[in-house]
Structure 1
Amino acid sequence: MIPLSILDLAPVTEGSNAAQTFANTLDLARAGERLGYRRYWLAEHHNMPGIASAATAVLIGHVAGGTSTIRVGAGGIMLPNHAPLQVAEQFGTLASLYPGRIDLGLGRAPGTDQPATHALRRYYQGAEEFPADVAELLRYFEPVQAGQTVRAVPGAGVAVEAWILGSSLFGARLAAALGLPYAFASHFAPDALDEALALYRREFQASARLAKPQVMLALNVVAADTDAAAARLFTTQQQAFINLRRGRPGLVPPPLASAAAIHDYCTPAEKAGVDRALACAVIGAPGSVRDGIAAFVARHRPDELLLTANIFDHAARVRSFELVMQACR
């Protein structure tokens, strides 16, 4: 069976708060560990009322400290928002506390809007700076060299598994050139998926960190006892995405009365847009999920899947991940 991992968007649901979200995050991570998921990743977002993982490294420490074996990491850290040295120090600290369990996924998008980007006080000139920042960051994890004037303490000589994240050819080309594993954001931006994977595999250059291409694909997966029940749960993610496109991000909404009710919630153009963005989704009862995941894997040949499920009810979300693992086994 292909390894399965979890991407937790740390949802803050209507009627809840960040404290409850963090309790739910740890509960889901413990369930994922028990069920056999390989990794548990959290993503950096800012100025998003429905996502509580802005202080990503802090939350990773919370999860790693409450679990024992599952790998925990960032999917990812948005490097334009940070000085590479600070990221190296944070993840060097995490990897020193939880050796052999910390992943660092790196993205070049700010993960927020322009006002919040300005408020973060990191004045980033453009995407062309990202490769240099990644190279600088990775150097801080190497053993200290004679005459080196700046070092990450902790960080230098500490093993942290680094990934390049992407949704375009830019990240695929960079990951290939640096010989790093590549995670593609197909759960919300699948348009360039096939071309990016082909480029990454074709141009990959082996490195001290990785001998051959390694691909992880993100996939929306919602499982329930019936196809109809799962489709209804998925309307939470559909609403949240439509709200974001409308420029009104908010708390994560409860599901609609039925899957068909989404047509009353939005215009046909909005529905077409959300269908395209969330095209990489497997929704249904366990049998449907098993077949859908198998078809996705057969088409794209990933080495690992990163599953996300933005489900309103926490118990239903945990149950979804349980059903998925049972189905795939």
Structure 2
Amino acid sequence: MALESVRFSILDRSRVRRGQTHADALRETVAFAKLAERWGYHRFWVAEHHSVPGVAGTAPTVLAAAVAAATSRIRVGTGGVMLPNHQPLVVAEQFGVLASLFPGRVDMGLGRSVGFTDGVRRALGHGLDDADDFDARLTELLAYFGTGRAGVHAGSAEGVEVPAFLLATGSGAERAARFGLPLVIAPIAGTQAMVESIERYRTLFRPSARTTRPYVIVSAAVVIADSTEQAHHLLFPEAWSSAHSRTHGEFLPLIPPADIDPASMTDRQRQLFERSLGSQIHGTEDQVAEAVENLVSRTDADEILVHTSTFDRDARWDSHRRLARVVGLESWSDRQTSREQLRSENKPTRPAIHSTV
């Protein structure tokens, strides 16, 4: 499959780097979205995490509003709002307001996760079992975009078209098929397991008023650098943070690759660290182009959602810029420049007028 036929988008979790504040990270997210639009990416999504030192993205609909206000074309959404943490009516109203302010540009990505720890779940007013009624919450949420539910109406959302997407965790692929919604999925349990989930989704998919055919977004980490070794080292901060979270219970701010020594890790940490590195696409432009094309071929994905993080902000942004070029995205600003240049070149010439003044 030609990469030019696949959409490419970005998920940004507003990762915090060592020595940086959450406010710094949030402002960088908005700046990054403006670049993503210039490079030609289709969507820019933000995430929801609570009480995490290394992640500033805590209020996705608020941050999405800031991103949408700073851009003009790129679709903006959430990857995603964790529905068990919120009342469906409030979520519907928030997205209704977003879609009213930025018509035709807002996506509603929804997830099933609850707070990372017992303390966070208590602070949010929820427990682990709140994820069990996800189907009921989702049904209620979608109803508010129609004629309401049980006499209750979300005025800002009623009759407003906001595409909904489901993030696959556990039985998420089957749920997306049952509700007739686009699927967002990552190779958390390995690429083969992801491919099998996608196949089940396509087999079980029931067309709905929102989506008439299966639509698959594969989320993947992608890093491009001048060499394979450089790209590999750019992955270290996120892999280290992930390994630390699974052994200590929290994502810490990202640290420089030079400060990460696998030899000093416990056996469990090193195993998680290496597993995280192995699941991410990295290398030179040619290597990444081949790897991404293989991923698209195996999954028949309609869209790739890139979610790369590293300590070096400029290297990360450069990687996304290179990926846009590798996969054939044409930047909006370049298209505008080309159009203006074409008009100028085709503009009829007039005889020079000589004046004595």
Q: Show the counterpart of 1:200.
A: 201
CA distance in 2, matches of 1:308, 1:87: 24
CA distance in 1, matches of 2:179, 2:277: 29
TM-score (norm 2): 0.86
- How many aligned positions are there? 323
Q: Is 1:64 paired with 2:68?
A: yes
Taking a change above 3 Å as real, the CA distance of residues 118 and 185 of structure 1, as seen in their structure-2 partners, is farther
CA distance in 2, matches of 1:242, 1:144: 44
Contact 2:76 / 2:107 at 8 angstroms: preserved in 1?
A: yes
Contact 1:141 / 1:158 at 8 angstroms: preserved in 2?
A: yes
Q: Show the counterpart of 1:163.
A: 165
User: Larger deviation: 77-86 or 293-302?
Assistant: 293-302
Q: Show the counterpart of 1:214.
A: 215
CA distance in 1, matches of 2:308, 2:282: 10
Contact 2:257 / 2:311 at 8 angstroms: preserved in 1?
A: no
Contact 1:57 / 1:91 at 8 angstroms: preserved in 2?
A: yes
Q: Show the counterpart of 2:101.
A: 97
Identity %: 38
Cα offset, 1:151, TM superposition: 0.6
Across the aligned residues of Structure 1 and Structure 2, the Cα RMSD in angstroms comes to 1.8
Q: Show the counterpart of 2:341.
A: none
- Give the letter aligned to residue 130 of structure 1: F
- Give the letter aligned to residue 216 of structure 1: I
> 1:143-162 residue pairs with structure 2 within 5 A?
143=147, 149-162=151-164
CA distance in 2, matches of 1:143, 1:161: 17
Q: Show the counterpart of 1:75.
A: 79
- Give the letter aligned to residue 181 of structure 1: P
Cα offset, 1:129, TM superposition: 0.4
Larger radius of gyration: 2
CA distance in 2, matches of 1:290, 1:37: 16
Secondary structure class of the residue paired with 2:213: coil
CA distance in 2, matches of 1:280, 1:37: 23
CA distance in 2, matches of 1:238, 1:124: 26
Taking a change above 3 Å as real, the CA distance of residues 282 and 111 of structure 1, as seen in their structure-2 partners, is farther
Q: Show the counterpart of 2:355.
A: none
- Give the letter aligned to residue 280 of structure 1: S
> 1:1-329 residue pairs with structure 2 within 5 A?
1=4, 2-123=6-127, 125-143=129-147, 149-168=151-170, 170-186=171-187, 188-190=188-190, 192-257=193-258, 262-277=261-276, 279-329=278-328
Taking a change above 3 Å as real, the CA distance of residues 208 and 13 of structure 1, as seen in their structure-2 partners, is same
Structure 1 consecutive aligned stretches of length 4 or more whose deviation exceeds 6 Å:
none
CA distance in 2, matches of 1:24, 1:320: 16
Taking a change above 3 Å as real, the CA distance of residues 72 and 320 of structure 1, as seen in their structure-2 partners, is same
User: Larger deviation: 127-136 or 116-125?
Assistant: 116-125
Unaligned runs of 5+ in 2: 329-357
Taking a change above 3 Å as real, the CA distance of residues 140 and 63 of structure 1, as seen in their structure-2 partners, is same
CA distance in 2, matches of 1:15, 1:267: 25
Contact 1:189 / 1:278 at 8 angstroms: preserved in 2?
A: no
CA distance in 2, matches of 1:235, 1:200: 33
Cα offset, 1:174, TM superposition: 1.0
CA distance in 2, matches of 1:128, 1:249: 24
Contact 2:147 / 2:153 at 8 angstroms: preserved in 1?
A: no
CA distance in 2, matches of 1:229, 1:111: 35
Per-residue CA distance 1:152-198 (angstroms, 9 max, x = gap): 12111111110111133x11111111110000133x45473122111
Cα offset, 1:262, TM superposition: 4.4
Secondary structure class of the residue paired with 2:221: strand
CA distance in 2, matches of 1:304, 1:57: 22
CA distance in 2, matches of 1:144, 1:85: 9
TM-score (norm 1): 0.93
Cα offset, 1:253, TM superposition: 2.4
Contact 2:50 / 2:120 at 8 angstroms: preserved in 1?
A: yes
CA distance in 1, matches of 2:210, 2:21: 40
Cα offset, 1:108, TM superposition: 1.0
Secondary structure class of the residue paired with 1:239: helix
